[in-house]
Amino acid sequence: MSAEPVMPRDPQIVALTAALAVPFEPREVKFKPQMVKNNRCLAMAYIDARLIQDRLDEVLGVENWEDVYKILPDGSVMCRLRCKLGDRWITKTDVGSPSEQPDGGDRLKAAFSDALKRAAVKFGIGRYLYRLSAQWVDYDPVKKQIVAPPQLPAFALPKPKVPAKPQPAPTPSGFIATEPRKETARPEAPRIDAPKPVAVKAEAPKTANLPSNGQELHRRLREYDAKLAAQKLCPVGALLAHVTQAGVKAGYTANMSEWNGPAIQFAVDAVREFDQTARQGKPEPHTAA
């Protein structure tokens, strides 16, 4: 019995999930004592539920995610988190537990927040926090707080943004059509016997034929992606995923069909970088943390 073929992943969904999973800034990660022994405690990392909401807004947009809650008989809360990734709506569900606070409203509020965070982890948001090693740190039993939080390892830190190169590589043939640059005519030197020099007007070079909108950009990217894959320079979809991830990290929407103006020029520069790296036989450029 032959196994079913694995369908290739949608590059846009790959880019979105990578953007959702980017580590938070260290100052946004908090620690609470999981176990206390005298003036030492076992520190456990966590993030506030509002950071989850901010990440969903930034990566997907406020209109592309929704959450529904249900209070269960034992006082816990079930969250149904629904997100639009590309053209698909995907739902993840998990349950949060109430806190040990004396006020009933606060206990229930904590259960709602816990349920959202647990459901968001299934989309990759904050999942790296579960991979942190447990650490014992100094604890103030009077103030009931951690004295100095532990340092986060390198994998739990967001990658710094790489500045753009001052001189981009030549535009890859086949993606952006350009017209040959015409030589600019120089003014002729004045003849001695001529009363005035004759100035020759220089003709301005024509600019590159950039995609006019996001739909055309997406179409050209797919065509050039297939061309590179046919030349065995990269896997199918690698170019599209690279440009989408770079755009999301730069602050553009993951829906490339909505790109215009500076975003289209940004995409052209990203294609140049990818093409140059692929033809030099280097590993594919990574843009997602």
Rounded Cα–Cα distance for residues 59 and 77 (Å)? 26
pLDDT, tens only, 132-175:
988 899 999 998 899 988 889 999 998 876 554 555 555 566 66
Q: Which pLDDT band, with edges at 50, 70 and 90, does 191 fall under?
A: low
pLDDT-derived band of residue 68, with 50, 70 and 90 as boundaries? very high
Q: Which residues on adjacent β-strands are paired with residue 209?
A: 177
Question: Of 229, 267, 223, whose CA–CA distance to 246 is shortest?
Answer: 267
Structurally, what CATH architecture does the domain formed by 24-156 represent?
A: 2-Layer Sandwich (3.30)
Residue 156, class by beta-carbon neighbours within 10 Å (0-12 exposed, 13-18 middle, 19+ buried)? middle
Residue 287 predicted with pLDDT over 50: no
Question: Alpha-carbon distance 250 to 254, whole Å?
Answer: 10
Domain residue limits, the chain: 1-22+160-181+208-289, 24-156
| Alpha carbons 64 and 66: distance in angstroms, whole number | 7
> Both tokens of residue 32?
């609470």
Cα distance between residue 105 and residue 49, in whole Å: 17
pTM of the model: 0.56
pLDDT at 251 exceeding the cut of 90:
no
Confidence of residue 65 (pLDDT cuts 50, 70, 90): very high
| Average pLDDT value for the chain | 81
Task: Provide the percentage of residues in the chain whose pLDDT is more than 70.
Answer: 78
Report which of residues 210 and 204 the model is more confident about: 210
- Name which residue leads in pLDDT, 114 or 259: 114
